[in-house]
Amino acid sequence: MAVNKDRKLKIIPLGGLGEIGKNITLLEYNDEIIIIDCGLAFPEDEMLGIDIVIPDISYLIKNQHKIKGLFVTHGHEDHIGAIPYLLKKIPNVPIYGTKLPMGLLANKFIEHNLQETKLNTINHGNKIKAGENFRVHFIRSNHSIPDSSALAIETPIGVVFHTGDFKIDQTPINDMPIDLQTIAEYGKKGVLVAFSDSTNVERPGYTMSEKTVGAKFIDIFKRAKKRIIVATFASNIHRIQQIIDAAAIYNRKVAISGRSMHNTIDIAQKTGFIDIPENILINARDLDKYKDNQIVVISTGSQGEAMAALSRMAANSHRQVKLKKGDMVIFSANPIPGNEKTVSSVINKLYEKEVEVIYEALHDVHVSGHARQEELKLMLNLLNPRFFIPVHGERRHLQLHAELAEEMGIHHNNTIVGYNGDIIEVTDNYIKTTSKVQSGNILVDGLGIGDVGNIVLRDRKNLSENGLIVAVVTIEKKSGKIAAGPDIISRGFVYVRENEDLMEESKKVVQKALDKCFQNKERDWSAIKNTIRQDLNQFIYNEIKRNPMILPIIMEI
């Protein structure tokens, strides 16, 4: 590719900056765009009833004729979970990734009825030409899910390097360490811009090898006298492998609990990323056929999710696994920020059942998949980029990573701590933020995509905190007189049987509001409803200092 110094590369993050999750970044040159990842995020506490959060891709929809490909770094939900939603808006986008993430995506596409979408499976070391201006090199990396990649993207003005989520594990489970040699070769040739994972920038030192958890499992399993239940991320295939290996050493059978866990293990087996000995897996329905000291259950629910297998065990609502006194439950995961309360609640319920609970605060049963400070420094040293953009982190993570880069000799003027929606312009000589595109959160509730916004969330919050009062009245159309009512219906506000006087007084307030409207010859229903709402709201607040949602209903006969 010939270098054209008059041209500018645009970098547009639509997600993943100032947040953990929802990762998606665009590179745009002339009339061509490539996409790196397209993930989801899980709802925050105030997003009542929301299932998942996906990025706003309005800019991509407007510019879909420019898209030359979507490149996947690894198979975690925060990097691939929103791809089906993107394809429903922009079909036929070429998708490229290594074997495991493509297997996980293929399963998602079946669930979303996207069977015709073509996935291009790439081996590490392959370079993919995308349009006239991009060539993408997949480089082997290490993370908490196998088959992860860094991407070196050759553009007409230089190499853009994206680390993806990574750690530097010298003794990985699959004996395939991160390809530092290739990364260093790019650094020697010259890297124009580097993006790097900021998740663990607050933590000094190095992230421990995944193999250290395997050794801990062997020690714990050795002393276990009854059943062992291990909760971990379904995507953490290396962790699942080590649980199975420890079970095999002590002649325990393994049952899998949780739909996502079943799906991931099935895909990992088909793609060759997990090795399960013959006759070790059993159906959870058959647990009673074995002694307690012959059983290991691998379960979802390490984040305290209400419907996950472990939460149902803790609530005694799991069909196959009923916890017994003396069972051992291992949390082999750290709570994602925001999930601490739900995880703590599940742990407390487990203690109530007199089971032995092992979690990271007490034992080293989890290691991160993200690089700590010394690994981040090593990556920057190897790449030696001219410009730097920290990604994949909350605001403090990005800022601290920028400061770390400055310690490593990258001038602060050459680093951009960006926001979602920024258009970051790069040339040979400078990097700067020029303007913004539309970005943000699209909320998914059931089959509804984007139909729940701030107003609906505000109403849901009000309902959850203050409840609802419905004031119903029936009016004769010809005479304008009240035919029935007013009646008051309360939901989530007060217990009606214990507040009959308040309900009766509320009816009188509604009646007075109607009389006032009729005296003023008001016949506009919306105006009458507003009067009822205002008068009733004022009365209730004066009486008990609460602000329920008030819904007047007027029926004509």
Give CA–CA dist 243/425, Å, rounded.
47
What is the biggest distance separating any 2 CA atoms in the chain, rounded to whole angstroms? 88
pLDDT at 479: 63
Residue 529 to residues 364, 443, 502, 515: CA-CA distances in angstroms? Answer: 61, 31, 20, 13
Q: Where are the domains of the chain?
A: 10-205+368-445, 211-358, 454-556
| Helix, strand, coil % over all residues of the chain, rounded to 5 | 35, 25, 40
pLDDT at 461: 67
pLDDT at 1 over 60: no
pLDDT at 3 over 90: no
The region of weakest confidence among 137-146, 408-417, 438-447 is 438-447
Cis peptide before 486 (omega within 30 of 0): yes
- Classify 128 as helix, strand or coil: strand
pLDDT at 30 over 80: yes
Fold observed for domain 211-358: Rossmann fold (3.40.50)
Do 211-358 and 454-556 fold alike per CATH?
no
Q: Give the Cβ contact number of residue 427 at 10 Å.
A: 16
Give CA–CA dist 331/346, Å, rounded.
10
pLDDT in tens, 269-294: 999 999 999 999 999 999 999 999 99
Q: Give the Cβ contact number of residue 2 at 10 Å.
A: 4
Instruction: Determine the residue type at 257.
Output: S
Return the H-helix or E-strand segment holding 475.
Answer: strand 468-475
pLDDT band at 463 (very low <50, low <70, confident <90, very high): low
Give CA–CA dist 407/24, Å, rounded.
28
The region of weakest confidence among 66-70, 452-456, 464-468, 535-539 is 452-456
Pairing of the two strands 328-331 and 356-358:
parallel
Question: Higher pLDDT residue, 364 or 437?
Answer: 437
Smallest Cα–Cα separation from 391: which of 140, 59, 73, 103?
73
pLDDT at 459: 63
Q: Which residues are catalytic?
A: 197, 370
Assigned CATH class of 454-556: alpha beta
- Classify 471 as helix, strand or coil: strand
pLDDT at 403: 96
Q: The CATH number of 10-205+368-445 is which of 2.70.70.10, 3.40.50.300, 3.40.50.140, 3.60.15.10?
A: 3.60.15.10
- Ramachandran category for residue 279: left, alpha or beta (phi over 0 → left; psi -120 to 50 → alpha): left
Mean pLDDT score, 122-136? 96
pTM of the model: 0.82
By the 8 A CB rule, do 243 and 400 touch? Answer: no
Q: Which residues pair with 25 in a beta bridge?
A: 13, 36
By the 8 A CB rule, do 417 and 390 touch? Answer: yes
pLDDT at 56 over 80: yes
Mapped to the 3 state alphabet, what secondary structure does 274-332 carry?
Answer: CCCCCCCEECHHHHHHCCHHHEEEEECCCCCCCCCHHHHHHCCCCCCCCCCCCCEEEEC
pLDDT in tens, 397-416: 999 999 999 999 999 999 99
Question: Higher pLDDT residue, 415 or 514?
Answer: 415
Give the mean pLDDT of the chain.
Answer: 87
- Supply 349's token pair: 């319920």
Cα angle for residues 424, 429, 431 (degrees, 5° grid): 20
pLDDT at 480 over 80: no
Mapped to the 3 state alphabet, what secondary structure does 220-265 carry?
Answer: HHHHCCCCEEEECCCCCHHHHHHHHHHHHHCCCEEEEECHHHHHHH
Count of residues in the chain: 557
